[in-house]
Amino acid sequence: MREPVLTFTDRGIYCPAGDFHIDPWRPVDRALITHGHADHARPGHRAYLCTDACAPVMRHRLGDIAIDTLRFGETRRIGDANVSFHPAGHIPGSAQIRVEVAGEVWVVSGDYKVTPDGLSEAFEPVPCHSFITECTFGLPVFKWDPQDQVARDLNAWWAGNAAHGRASILGAYSLGKAQRLMRMLDPGTGPILTHGAVEATNAVLRAQGYALPDTVQVTPDTDAKAFPGALVIAPPAALGTPWARRFGPASTAFASGWMRLRGVRRRRATDRGFVISDHADFDGLMQAIRATGAENVFVTHGYTDIFARWLSDEGFNAQVVPTEFGGEDSEDEAAA
């Protein structure tokens, strides 16, 4: 019996034919990385391979690493495996990784969303025999509103706060979500201020040519009174801290797919919750899986058991694979 193209080990997803791991969570010799969030791109590997669009943020976050790159759609032979990276639509530079061995194709999705956001490279379905998918939001209750509708609500909240002399403090993950939200803002409402962790990522993405609006980094010397009606974007962990209280009277909000759940909104204790995610909603997951034509679907990180049963009822050969990846709540690792 032929060895599977990919196997699941205590270090991560492994390709025997190419002797490499994909998004490993323990140190390995060769790591192929789908994107730069900390639960997928970890330190300690001897060599890294990612997209050329992902590499700058990898260097920013991991320091002086041995990193090689591929363009989207470019194929490389590694051992007896052919490898290519294809847009995942999750954050700038994020990829699905296609691995072909002796004509059999597996795809590791990493994290993804199927709806274009105007910033990330848009998701592209990749035909395959076996598909490894996340299911962070793998319940029918998770259904995202159109981005332009969220943008209208977000800008109305900001404008209302500014009219009443309040700052608007918006919690958003520093890589991907923050920049997506910036692109949705109406800069005519007022200045956009950023936490240092957000602005450092902005600088990396701007240097690559991603278009972002003008922002002002908050420093210890920043006088909040000099920026009336500002909208401040910060990692969620900064909300409610002395760093946030410097802005005086303010309304706070959190932008996440989890805001769809009322209990999560209450626990976050913010004034507003904007339902927007860089992961696919339930319909998006099903759309992506069907578009691959895959017979075998391996489900990881999220509502795995429930989602796998749903897929089985739909006729897929579905099974749960334990991993150490997180969901949307694991991506905010920079709050200082």
Tokens at residue 304, please? 């795995």
301 located within any domain: yes
What pTM was computed for the model? 0.94
Q: How many CB atoms lie within 10 A of CB 153?
A: 15
**261 and 210 within one domain:** yes
Specify the pLDDT at position 336: 26
Residue 309: inside a domain: yes
Which run of H or E residues covers position 305?
helix 304-313
- Same domain assignment for residues 246 and 210: yes
The pLDDT value recorded for residue 174 is: 96
Quick one: pLDDT at residue 2?
Answer: 74
What is residue 185's predicted lDDT score, i.e. its pLDDT?
98
pLDDT at residue 241 in the model: 92
What is the DSSP-derived secondary structure letter of residue 176?
T
Among candidate residues 197, 196, 209, the one with its CA nearest the CA of residue 93 = 209
Last residue in a domain, options 228, 251, 274: 274
Question: Do the domain assignments include residue 335?
Answer: no
Whether residues 254 and 154 share a domain: the answer is yes
Sheet holding 104-108, edge to edge: 75-78, 81-87, 95-101, 104-108, 130-135, 296-302, 317-320
Q: How far is CA 267 from the centre of its chain?
A: 22
Q: What is the CATH number of the domain that holds 209?
A: 3.40.50.10710
CATH of the domain at 82: 3.60.15.10
Residues 135 and 18 both lie in one domain? yes
Cα–Cα distance measured from residue 106 to residue 109, given in angstroms and rounded to the nearest whole number: 10
Helix axes 196-207, 177-184, angle to 10 degrees: 80
Residues of the chain with pLDDT under 70: 1, 263-268, 327-336
Looking at the chain, how many residues does it have?
336
pLDDT at site 265: 62
Q: Which residues pair with 229 in a beta bridge?
A: none
- Residue-number span of the structural domain to which 204 is assigned: 147-274
